[in-house]
Amino acid sequence: MKNKLIISRTPLRVSFFGGGTDLEHYSKRNEGKVLSTAINKYIYVVVRKHSPLYKTNFRLNYSISENQTSLSKIKNKIIKECLKFLSIKGPIYISTFSDIPDRSGLGSSSSFTVGLLNALYAYKGIKVDQKRLAEEAYLIETLKVKSPIGRQDQYAAAIGGFNYFKFKKNNKVMIKKIMDKNLFNLINNNMLLIWTKIRRDNTKILQSQKKNIKQNKIYLDQLKSYVELFNKKLKKKQITKKLFGNLINLSHNTKINLTNKILNRKISILIGKIKMHNVYGLKLLGAGGGGFILCCLSNKKNLSKKFECQNFKIDNSGTKIIFNG
């Protein structure tokens, strides 16, 4: 393993419909359904065996730098638990960087976990399939790191593409890959991300949703129904920009009932400004409280001049090793 260098690339995701129904406190009782796509915005993880000249076993670079002599002292919980999970004791160097800021509603923590596991397996010379990476990432994030999250982000990041997920009561995940050229063209050409300039911690928002699970069931059922309606329209080849936008609006207006922590004054003002530009639909992505707003519209240029925007396209590859040498 002398001087071995591994680089993984893992996509972020945009969740269109059904977010929240993948959380276990809902899906174990009612079955969750989600429609989402991986996008061509990525998290990169670099792993390398470092020189014995360094006096530390673990050299880590993410939003901060760590140099630790023992695994137990590592502050980054995801890195620590992934190393423990794969019984890697160092000496090792791990670095990560991203196309998009973290805590932005695009599933970055799960993409990082999936990408880190993928890189560490490659570092050990082990090939694993994408679904296994998704499931192991979910178990690490929920059971070890204790994040109050669902299953959709890990699977979107691991397998890539536009997917219809069913989260069964027995914890199994059913995946249907959707391959529709017209739909892909619509998403690639008529969808845009607008940055709220707010990076947030989703923990309190998701914990609040979990506390209100009984009151929220009616809203989560509605969010799931938009997945079912979209699928029906897709089968009949009736998906248009206007229909897609209307469903996105419905999803947003339903989602904000889950907790009063999803919106704040700054985001509400920004949404009001965006609506003045004749968008078909918009929704705040992720758990809420900040991050990106997804917009469906005819002309991207009009919004691009007014707001901080990111174009995106569908990623079909999922997590992959882009360098191994």
Instruction: Decide if pLDDT at 111 tops 90.
Output: yes
Range of the domain at 253: 5-324
> pLDDT of 257-271, one tens digit each?
988 888 899 999 999
Rounded to the nearest 10 degrees, the angle between the axes of helix 241-255 and helix 213-235 is 170
Per-residue burial over 37-68, b if 16 or more Cβ lie within 10 Å, else e, is bbbbbbbbbbbbbbeeeeebbbbbebeeebeb
The number of domains in the chain is: 1
What are all long-range contacts of 50-53, with beta carbons under 8 Å and residues at least 24 apart?
A: 50/91, 50/92, 50/93, 51/91, 52/91
Contact 279, 118 (CB under 8 A): no
Q: How many CB atoms lie within 10 A of CB 277?
A: 14
CA angle 26, 234, 31 (to 5 degrees): 15
pLDDT mean across residues, the chain:
93
Strands, E assignment, 168-202:
173-177, 191-195
Amino acid letter, 244:
F
| Confidence band of 300 (pLDDT split at 50, 70, 90) | confident
> pLDDT of 57-76, one tens digit each?
999 999 999 999 999 999 99
Instruction: Decide if pLDDT at 208 tops 80.
Output: no
Q: How many CB atoms lie within 10 A of CB 77?
A: 14
| 3-class DSSP state of 133 | helix
- So what's the pLDDT on residue 213? 75
Say which CATH number the domain at 248 has.
3.30.230.120
- So what's the pLDDT on residue 262? 86
| Confidence band of 299 (pLDDT split at 50, 70, 90) | confident
| 3-class DSSP state of 150 | coil
> pLDDT of 213-235, one tens digit each?
788 999 999 999 999 999 999 99
| Confidence band of 4 (pLDDT split at 50, 70, 90) | confident
- So what's the pLDDT on residue 2? 57
Instruction: Decide if pLDDT at 200 tops 80.
Output: no
Burial of 124 (0-12, 13-18, 19+ CB in 10 A): middle
Instruction: Return the residue matching tokens 């530390």.
Output: 56
| Confidence band of 51 (pLDDT split at 50, 70, 90) | confident
Instruction: Decide if pLDDT at 1 tops 60.
Output: no
Helix residue ranges, H only, 160-212: 181-190, 203-211
> pLDDT of 89-101, one tens digit each?
889 999 999 999 8
Nearest to 227 by CA among 254, 190, 202, 194: 254
> pLDDT of 239-251, one tens digit each?
999 999 999 999 9
> pLDDT of 30-44, one tens digit each?
999 999 999 999 999
Instruction: Decide if pLDDT at 135 tops 70.
Output: yes
Q: Which of 37-46, 273-282, 296-305, 306-315 has the lowest mean pLDDT?
A: 296-305
Q: What is the mean pLDDT of residues 16-22?
A: 95
